[in-house]
Amino acid sequence: MKNNSLVNLMGLDYKSLSLFLEENSIKSGFRTGQLQQWIHKFSADSFDVMTNISNQLKNKLKEISKIEAMPIKSESFSKDGTIKWLFDAGNSNAIETVFIPEKNRRTLCISSQAGCAVNCAFCATGRQGFNRNLSASEIVGQLWSAQKSINNNSIKNEDLENKSIIKSSNDQITNIVFMGMGEPLLNYTQVLKSIKLLLDTNAYGFSRRKVTVSTSGVVPMIDKLARDCPVALAVSLHAANDVLRNKLVPINKKYPLSDLIESCKRYIMKAPRDFITFEYCMLSEINDTDNHLRELINLVSQIKCKINLIPFNSFANSEFKAPKIEKINSFANKLLNSGIITTVRKTRGDDIYAACGQLAGNVKNITKIAKHIPLKTI
Ligand code: SAH
Ligand code: SF4
């Protein structure tokens, strides 16, 4: 069998993997969990290392399947500890994944699409247009590769420093955010499959609270996620009136703020956290005045939420500017004084262009944005 006709086990959740084994006359039973553990817990990329699997079964699995992540094109290390990987998604497309270590958590920011069709005015990914959805294998493979690479790097470092290769728990990725390239809720099926693997105890075993889907506001899919697999939700608000939001986040023309807020209220009833995070990218003179602040307070006081202010991160040929830090802090303080929990996101990895909204990878835009996105009104 040719390599590309082999089934990639990387993206198969428990149910799909069991089904695949049964279809190939392999008794699934405990095998499914065993295979998942080898692939996801022990980062196996070949069947040869699977010591509790018979040679006969290994040979059979090699004939019909593979374990494969996207090839890594490059790995960049920021002075603040952030790491960015560029993955080869084929056909001249490259997508980006970012590791952000902090004191109490180590977050991996993953991509769900090559490019993005939503075309938000201030986003480098949107600027490139859309090429294609990533498969569940490609989405989960980002975590698989990142964890493997972090482990290898720390082993090298410890080896040099202490002549010991004991893996430290500080290497473990603790949180996953779908905040890389792409709109996760416009690649719903593959994103859902990947979330199931992230949560599965045989695979990565993340709690629902530690996996965050960030969306520009695809209302019907917010409801679907609430029904299928509620995890933490972040909504990219950026404006609290429809006229401005239509310009900044064009999907607002299809799903205006009133619908979006109602869907957030419904989501909270099912969510693992009892609040929604609203992301608000601060753009000087565009959405940072006292009027904007008043509108924002009015809008979000209807709902239990936290606001995360993200200073605009610039990229080549972007027409926006971040407000001065004093202005951002004063905006944050006024929100806090109105009783709204607010944080200002620290910019991480900007020396390697890994900050929020700077992920541009390299996307061969073969699909016109307006043609692809399901927006009749755009
Ligand atoms: N498509 C999803 C997730 C990816 S973007 C979404 O839009 O939510 C992750 C976050 O970065 C979003 O809140 C997005 O609006 C924000 N962002 C995009 N471009 C940015 C930029 N240049 N500076 C700061 N934040 C940006
Ligand atoms: Fe797409 Fe999110 Fe960028 Fe908007 S901000 S263009 S939805 S990736």
Does the pLDDT of residue 244 top 50, yes or no? yes
Average pLDDT of 136-141? 98
Model confidence at 235, pLDDT cuts 50, 70, 90, reads: very high
- Residue 157's pLDDT is 54
378, two tokens:
């755009």
What is the location of CATH 3.20.20.70 in the chain?
Answer: 72-372
142, two tokens:
């980002």
Per-residue model confidence as pLDDT tens digits over 213-231: 999 999 999 999 999 999 9
Q: Is the CB of 113 under 6 A from ligand 1?
A: no
Pick the range with the lowest mean pLDDT from 5-9, 72-76, 324-328, 357-361.
Answer: 357-361
**Strand, coil or helix: what is 309?**
strand
Does the pLDDT of residue 163 top 60, yes or no? no
Q: Calculate the average pLDDT of the chain.
A: 90
CATH class for the region spanning 7-66: mainly alpha
Residues lining ligand 2, Cβ inside 6 A = 116, 118-120, 123, 125-126, 182-183, 216, 236
Distance 331 CA to ligand 1 centre (A): 19
Does the pLDDT of residue 366 top 60, yes or no? no
Q: Global pTM?
A: 0.92
**Strand, coil or helix: what is 299?**
helix
What is the location of CATH 1.10.150.530 in the chain?
Answer: 7-66
Per-residue model confidence as pLDDT tens digits over 85-104: 999 999 889 999 999 999 89
Active site residue 305: no
Residue linked to tokens 């404006």: 239
Nearest CA to ligand 1 atom 9: 179
Query: What is the number of other CB atoms lying within 10 angstroms of the CB of residue 155?
Result: 16
- Residue 369's pLDDT is 47
Assess if CATH 3.20.20.70 describes domain 72-372.
yes
- Residue 364's pLDDT is 66
Nearest CA to ligand 2 atom 4: 120
